[in-house]
């Protein structure tokens, strides 16, 4: 039997961020994952300003990630095909980047271990038994871990949630995404971030994100319940890749370096259970992704660190930590989720999407500020939540990363 202060199930960004903060404060932390690292993670690999600022607050250096590629602008194509160049501020700091999740997640795990967390990898948790003052987790090797509390960072279909009797059967997420890595891409795809709002994919979009060395992460995402079903995505993919305006960006010599991958994305933080018996749910297990874009790395880091901070601040035990964590996450993310959800519905209409992007491209000011909003430089619903207003709220610096 192993006894620790906190057991964290899932070593992705949410779990690693929580482990790092707790271990840095001297807590005895066990970071558990059924995988061994590095391992691939199906993702678009984009890092928003929210994500980069979380990494900055952790003291994490992107130099540990070989594919880390700073992004200074984005190119958006409206449903009509009209191009809009969206600059990000010149600085100080960085507002967007791209990094392969296989490398980013492994670096974050190493970062947590270097802070003092203990890793327990290649082991699957098969039983969870909470009591009034502890929680016992048993892995598939028969080993039992007893902790004061558990942080569940084990994905959208969280096995910990299911073992606690809190699982929602039939849930498939709000988004579904499809990506493939390409090598030998053209100069445009190798250096710039591209987004196409194709009329038959709205309110979803197609992307090409540079990951260095002439490679790009290329994919598309759809909202469930739209005109494109998840079953249609495999057939639609080769058609998207051969559309002239997309192929021109990828370049004639671009070739797939690996098979395509698809995955669901959970984005319903407004009604997701965030706590359970002796357990806090973070990242995808908290369904914390952005419902407008499907991005979730920044939200994973934020929820993981909020869970750890709630545990560190708890003065009267786990119930205090659970209450504090739930309040913090609701305050940070729910208003923005509702705003993004409403905007996403509007973007399903090609005419509205065209009008919105035309308005964005009106002048340098609208382009620059839309870029900051799109990359979560400030919260989606900041204008509608006066409690979060402060001087300089629309003009903050980017993340300062070593």
pLDDT at 225: 84
Spell out the residues 6+ positions from residue 61 whose beta carbon is closer than 8 angstroms to its own.
401, 402
Q: Is the omega angle on the peptide bond into residue 203 within 30 degrees of 0, that is, cis?
A: yes
Minimal CA–CA distance to 249: which of 197, 205, 194?
194
What 3-state class would DSSP assign to 150?
strand
pLDDT at 167: 75
Q: Which two tokens stand for residue 187?
A: 């100069």
Note whether 2-75+100-171+268-344 and 175-265 share their fold: no
Q: Are 6 and 30 in contact (CB under 8 A)?
A: yes
Q: Which whole-number Å values give the CA distances from 197 to 38, 82, 125, 135, in the listed order?
A: 33, 10, 41, 47
Q: Are 153 and 283 in contact (CB under 8 A)?
A: yes
DSSP 390: -
Minimal CA–CA distance to 309: which of 295, 294, 293, 327?
327
pLDDT at 170: 82
Total residue length of the chain:
402
Q: Are strands 175-183 and 215-223 parallel, antiparallel or unpaired?
A: antiparallel
**Tokens 């965030």 identify what position?**
274
Task: Please provide the distance, in angstroms rounded to a whole number, between the alpha carbons at the two ends of the chain.
Answer: 40
Q: Output the tens digit of pLDDT for each of the chain's 402 residues.
A: 999 999 999 999 999 999 999 999 999 999 999 999 999 999 999 999 999 999 999 999 998 899 999 999 999 999 999 999 999 988 799 999 999 999 999 999 999 999 999 999 999 999 999 999 999 999 999 999 999 999 999 999 999 999 999 977 788 999 999 999 999 999 999 999 999 999 999 999 999 999 999 999 999 999 998 889 999 999 999 999 999 999 999 999 999 999 999 999 999 999 889 999 999 999 999 999 999 999 999 999 999 999 999 999 998 899 999 999 999 999 999 999 999 999 988 999 999 999 999 999 999 889 988 999 999 999 999 999 999 999 989 888 999 998
Q: Are 254 and 185 in contact (CB under 8 A)?
A: yes
Entry pTM:
0.97
Query: In 76-91, which positions are buried (b, 16+ CB within 10 angstroms) versus exposed (e)?
Result: bbbbeeeebebebbee
pLDDT at 368: 87
pLDDT at 38: 97
pLDDT at 396: 86
Kindly report the backbone phi and psi dihedral angles of residue 365, in degrees, each rounded to the nearest multiple of 5, phi listed first: -65, -45
Minimal CA–CA distance to 329: which of 287, 277, 384, 295?
287
pLDDT at 169: 76
Domain boundaries 2-75+100-171+268-344, CATH class: alpha beta
The CATH number of the structural domain formed by 175-265 is: 3.30.9.100
Q: Are 2 and 30 in contact (CB under 8 A)?
A: yes
Q: What angle do CA 183, 184, 189 make, to 5 degrees?
A: 85
Kindly report the backbone phi and psi dihedral angles of residue 197, in degrees, each rounded to the nearest multiple of 5, phi listed first: -95, 80
Domain residue limits, the chain: 2-75+100-171+268-344, 175-265
pLDDT at 395: 85
């Amino acid at each position: 039997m192993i006894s620790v202060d906190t057991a964290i199930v899932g070593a992705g960004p949410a779990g690693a961020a929580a482990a790092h903060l707790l271990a840095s404060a001297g807590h005895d932390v066990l970071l558990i994952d059924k995988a061994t690292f590095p391992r691939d993670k199906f993702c678009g690999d984009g890092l928003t300003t929210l994500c980069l600022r979380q990494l900055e607050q952790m003291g994490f250096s992107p130099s540990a990630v070989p594919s880390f590629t700073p992004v200074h602008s984005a190119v958006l194509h409206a449903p009509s095909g009209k191009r809009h160049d969206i600059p990000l501020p010149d600085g100080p700091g960085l507002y967007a980047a791209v990094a392969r999740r296989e490398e980013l997640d492994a670096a974050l795990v190493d970062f947590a271990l270097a802070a003092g967390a203990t890793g327990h990898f290649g082991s699957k948790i098969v039983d969870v038994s909470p009591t009034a003052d502890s929680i016992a987790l048993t892995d598939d090797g028969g080993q039992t871990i007893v902790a004061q509390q558990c942080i569940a960072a084990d994905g959208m279909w969280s096995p910990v949630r299911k073992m606690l009797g809190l699982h929602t059967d039939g849930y498939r997420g709000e988004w579904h995404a499809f990506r493939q890595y390409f090598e030998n891409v053209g100069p445009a795809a190798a250096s710039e971030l591209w987004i196409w709002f194709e009329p038959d994919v709205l309110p979803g979009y197609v992307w090409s994100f540079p990951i260095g060395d002439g490679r790009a992460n290329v994919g598309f995402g759809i909202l469930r319940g739209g005109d494109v079903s998840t079953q249609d995505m495999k057939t639609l993919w080769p058609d998207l890749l051969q559309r002239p305006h997309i192929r021109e960006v990828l370049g004639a010599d671009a070739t797939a370096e690996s098979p395509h991958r698809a995955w669901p994305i959970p984005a319903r933080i407004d009604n997701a259970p965030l706590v359970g018996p002796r357990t806090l749910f973070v990242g995808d297990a908290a369904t914390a992704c952005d419902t407008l874009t499907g991005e979730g790395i920044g939200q994973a880091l934020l929820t993981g660190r909020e869970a750890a901070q709630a545990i560190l601040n708890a003065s009267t035990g786990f119930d205090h930590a659970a209450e504090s964590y739930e309040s913090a996450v609701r305050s940070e993310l729910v208003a923005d989720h509702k705003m993004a959800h409403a905007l996403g519905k509007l973007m399903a209409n090609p005419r509205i999407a065209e009008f919105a992007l035309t308005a964005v491209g009106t002048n340098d000011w609208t382009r620059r500020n839309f870029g900051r909003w799109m990359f979560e430089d400030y919260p989606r619903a900041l204008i509608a939540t006066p409690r979060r207003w402060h001087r300089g709220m629309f003009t903050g610096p980017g993340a300062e990363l070593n």
